[in-house]
Amino acid sequence: MDYSTFLIQSLNAIQYGLLLFLVASGLSLIFGIMGVINLAHGSFYMIGAYLAFGLAPIVSDIFGGGFIATLVFGVIASAVFGYLLEWAFFSYLYTRDHLQQVLMTYGLILVFEEIRSLLIGDEVHGVKPPTWLEGSIPLTDVMVYPTYRLFISAMCIALAIGMYLVFTKTKLGMMIRAGSVNREMTQSLGINIKFLYRVVFAAGVAIAAFAGMVAAPVSSVYPGMGGGILIICFVVVVIGGIGSIKGALVASLLIGFVDTFGKVALPEAAGVLVYVLMAVILLWKPNGLFKAGT
Amino acid sequence: MKFNQKKILVALTSLYVGIASAQNTTKLKVGLMLPYSGTYASLGNAIENGFQLYVQEQGGKIGGREIEFVKVDDESEPSKATDNINKLIKRDNVDLVVGSVHSGVAMAMAKVAKDTGTLLIVPNAGADAITGAMCAKNIYRTSFTNWQPGYAMGEQAAKNGVKKVITVTWKYAAGEESVKGFKEAFTKNGGTISKELTVPFPNVEFQSLLTEIAAAKPDAVYAFFAGAGAVKFVKDYAAAGLNRSIPLYGPGFLTDGTLEAQGAAANGMLTTLHYADGLNNKRDAAFRLAYAKAYKMQPDVYAVQGYDAAQLLAIGLNATKGDVSKKAEFEDAILKAKIDSPRGTITISKAHNPIQDIYLREVVGKENKFKSVASKSLADPARGCNL
Amino acid sequence: MKNKPSFFFILFFAFLLVMPFLGNDYSNDWVVKTIIFSIFAVSLELLVGTTGLICFGQAAFFGVGAYATVLLTSQFPDSSVWFLVGSSIFSAAVLALFIGALSLRTKGVYFIMVTLAFAQMVYYVIHDTPLGGGTDGIYLSSKPMLFLDYGLSNSTVFYFFTVACLFASLVFLGVLLRSRFGHALVGIRINENRMSAVGYDTYFYKLTVFVISGGIAGLAGFLYAIKDGFVNPELLSWHHSGAVLIMIILGGLGHLRGAVIGAFAFALLEEIFRSEALFGPLSKHWHLGLGLAIILCVALLPKGLISIPSQWRIRLMGPSGSAGVSESINGEKS
């Protein structure tokens, strides 16, 4: 493999890994802080992608906005949706055991998929990237790298930095971290833990949906896209460690590289390699690479 | 209490099943097993539209019998296919089954049809085995084998002076068979396939493959994708700048029904298929007019295949006076017939697959314009069939 | 009623033996399919209900059993049915040994995720590599002979063979659960730390039950491959693993008959929600009804359908009339 191909594949790997990180970090957080395992998390990614598809014409017709405006609207809409979903459904799951959480959120996946099917149908849709990002950057004499993919990576990095800053530097972040370590104590200190959980959940949903929106032009919008990314996110969480953001980042990038280069080196085994990686890490560290709360 | 619950359950089930199976009139019950949801939903709808159009043109009767439809959505899921076709045959007691689009689904259907002896007409799925190793007296196809368009393109590519090709496709039967067909003709004419790339179905992450293609710099690329995958691939190919230096060839599925979404990325692409826009025959003109009037949209190759499925049924039933069980006479009539299809005149081979012209088409604007005949009266070799 | 399990099973098997003479082709197909799923469900009940191990990857063992059947039949065309049954169970059990050895190093939520991930890995092996024959699945070339002139290709023979397999599995598990081994499993579910403190090697017990459970799922897979004559990678999909989990919760955890009831109830629910007669155009979206039913069932009937009689008893006769108390103390009931 020559240098330019290696560079391009690495860019691909990083882009895929960063996107995974966004979705997986939400899943990890929700579990780490609220103790709820949410199988429907992949559905939020799908909802984001369908929002990108569905909102774009509305935003441009009514508000005259473009891609960025659609993103903003989508994020707000999904945050509100997440807030309401927590209030109506997820808050009842905190006291239930894991099996019940698994099954109820599995039922939720089915409900989401069918509602999507009823509202928008089952066709596969493409989403156009904004015209100002449509070009490509020439890398070799034959190959160009789409600018939009660089944009995705940039957005993911920005969001990741934003999350890090909120967690470590703000009061809200401090409350969240406190709540994850000891719920009752935090509550007795006068912090409204219910409201806190709702905010965290809404944020998790919004981040996953944002990932879906941003990825839509690249991955297309199709039924079942939620299930696919959910399982890989589970692998990320298992490898990285539940409740650890650093772990999610490291694991996502690791998976991005293994998957991308695996497809090139061993196309037949490509799908399996990620799980082999997981098996190997499990042998070495059954609780993941990093501890919760890092 | 459990005793009563169980009894009620038994009674209800038997009652329901009994009611469902008590219907047997002189109407011809046609079971339509097509994808009405999922990636191939538009194909399923087009096939049904074509079939219904022919039935209406015949006044709602085929072989002297009125048609009653029973529809099942196969969701393009091979794992549910056996259950779905069993429902049609055993619970709804259909006289024949028409379907499907996805090759995996059709294979399962063919197995059940073979075991139960039910008449099956396949209006799309191109799995070679259906009129190959799995062929049977009661199974017919009005579409193509995956091999046919691929083989024709292989000959065409060699004619164009192409020497080194990389193939790309989804890793499933349809894709692999299409590539095999291409390879057969292409290597026979002196070409070489330097790499055979695959993507798991229905994955559409092509980026790393495109990178590889760019690095290898072949003379051309042969790709098989359909539906949304086709849209994405052609667009990604152009976005990576490859279409400027490495021509993209493929069977017609790469550009059929997808040009609207592909836009400029598909311009000038050459594909092979048994149908095209701008065929100069009367039947096609009449068909297109009638279809547009009835359904407010232009027909595509899938609609033609559905239309011809109804034609084939009519030919057979007219010979047997509406009796589906007279398999030998049915087959006789079909093998002797020259079917006047919108794609041109076709005949049915001994293995029950169409023998047809494969056209070379070029994408011009929003149409796959007929350019020339790539392969005249191409018959699938029907390897493994004993008919 | 003290001997609830026996009463239920006598009735149940009587119903099964009589069914072929009452029903038609379609209903017999349906019953056979549901019996196969009952065996599948019972295998998972052993893990989840008895031992408290929530495995979200049971479909992998089912699928491997099915694929082993098809692949071995094409390699060894005239093999006896016992060879095929044995090999399916064995291959599923070997896979369970491998997956169990790695997964059981984790606990709780990790275990759920890891089993799901490993099942997905097996799915990809079958889906993508030449080993499995690809996305479209492979065909069973012939169905094995049983004895004399009777073979499994005869649907009546196959029906009774399947019933016999269910009976054998239930008897085997019934005996297993009443043994010391079975009681140890219950102990592990209730408090694993205490069990290991008392000197039990809990990892060994868990691994053993994981392997047994995998083997039984493999048996169900063998039967399914024979029934359809066709296997497909979707048999290993996580939706399938989810479905069997739903079955055992629907029926009621902690009881073997719960798994059987759950399998039938789930199959019935599917028929109802898919019925065009009842739902018209919405029947296409039957997953919606199923999803809502799952949520409601878990929320309102956490102990499953099997708890309905005792709940009614409580309502009618007051809390003192509940037989449910003795059930939960003893832990496992068949």
- What percentage of chain C carries pLDDT values higher than 90? 40
CA nearest neighbour of C186 among C47, C303, C57, C306: C47
- Mean pLDDT, to the nearest integer, of A16-37? 86
- What percentage of chain B carries pLDDT values higher than 90? 47
- Mean pLDDT, to the nearest integer, of B27-31? 92
pLDDT band at C326 (very low <50, low <70, confident <90, very high): very low
Minimum distance, in Å, between the CA of residue A111 and any CA atom of chain B: 16
State whether C136 and B86 contact (CB < 8 Å).
no
d(CA C33, CA C29): 6
State whether B9 and C234 contact (CB < 8 Å).
no
**C207-260 pLDDT per residue, tens:** 999 999 999 999 999 999 998 888 888 889 898 999 999 999 889 888 888 999
Q: Which range, A68-72, A115-119, B45-49, is most confident? A: B45-49
Q: Tell me which chain B residue has its CA closest to the CA of residue C236.
A: B79
Give the count of beta carbons closer than 10 Å to the beta carbon of residue C325.
Answer: 11
State whether B42 and A126 contact (CB < 8 Å).
no
A1 chain-B contacts, CB cut-off 8 A: 215
Interface predicted TM-score of the whole assembly (ipTM), two decimals: 0.84
- Mean pLDDT, to the nearest integer, of A247-259? 91
State whether C288 and A286 contact (CB < 8 Å).
no
Distance of CA B236 to the CA centre of its chain: 25
Q: Looking at residue B55, what is its pLDDT?
A: 94
3-state secondary structure C164-207: HHHHHHHHHHHHHHHCHHHHHHHHHHHCHHHHHHHCCCHHHHHH
DSSP string, B165-232: EEEEEESSHHHHHHHHHHHHHHHHTT-EEEEEEEE-TT----HHHHHHHHHH--SEEEEE--HHHHHH
Cis peptide before C319 (omega within 30 of 0): no
State whether A278 and C117 contact (CB < 8 Å).
yes
- State pTM to two decimals: 0.84
**A260-281 pLDDT per residue, tens:** 888 777 777 777 888 988 888 8
Contact A269, C129 (CB under 8 A): yes
Q: Looking at residue B202, what is its pLDDT?
A: 66
Cis peptide before C237 (omega within 30 of 0): no
**C270-304 pLDDT per residue, tens:** 888 877 677 766 777 788 888 898 888 888 888 88
* Phi, psi torsion values for B30, nearest 5 degrees: -105, 120
- Mean pLDDT, to the nearest integer, of C178-200? 91
State whether B171 and C135 contact (CB < 8 Å).
yes
Q: Are strands B220-224 and B192-199 parallel, antiparallel or unpaired?
A: unpaired
Interface mutation target, options A9, A222, A273, chain B, most CBs of B under 10 Å: A222
On average, the pLDDT of chain C sits at: 85
Q: Looking at residue B9, what is its pLDDT?
A: 56
d(CA B97, CA B29): 9
Query: Packing angle between helix C256-274 and helix B2-21, nearest 10 degrees?
Result: 30
Minimum distance, in Å, between the CA of residue A88 and any CA atom of chain C: 13
Q: Which range, A57-71, A109-123, C115-129, C174-188, is most confident? A: C174-188
Give the count of beta carbons closer than 10 Å to the beta carbon of residue B194.
Answer: 14
- What Å distances lie between residue B9 and B90, C6, C20, C34, C260, CA to CA? 20, 20, 16, 14, 14
**C23-71 pLDDT per residue, tens:** 777 888 889 999 999 999 999 999 999 999 999 999 999 999 999 999 9
CA nearest neighbour of B28 among B83, B66, B85, B75: B66
Judged by CB atoms within 8 Å, which residues 199-228 of A form the interface with B?
219-220, 222-223
Q: Looking at residue B13, what is its pLDDT?
A: 56
**A116-155 pLDDT per residue, tens:** 888 887 766 777 777 777 777 776 666 677 788 888 889 8
Nearest Cβ partner for C129 among A242, A268, A287: A268
Interface mutation target, options A9, A125, A142, chain B, most CBs of B under 10 Å: A142
- Subunit partners of chain B (3 or more CB pairs within 8 A): A, C
Say which residue, A136 or A213, is predicted with more confidence: A213
A271 chain-B contacts, CB cut-off 8 A: 200
Q: Tell me which chain A residue has its CA closest to the CA of residue C99.
A: A279
State whether A143 and B211 contact (CB < 8 Å).
yes
- Mean pLDDT, to the nearest integer, of B232-257? 87
Q: Tell me which chain B residue has its CA closest to the CA of residue C312.
A: B1
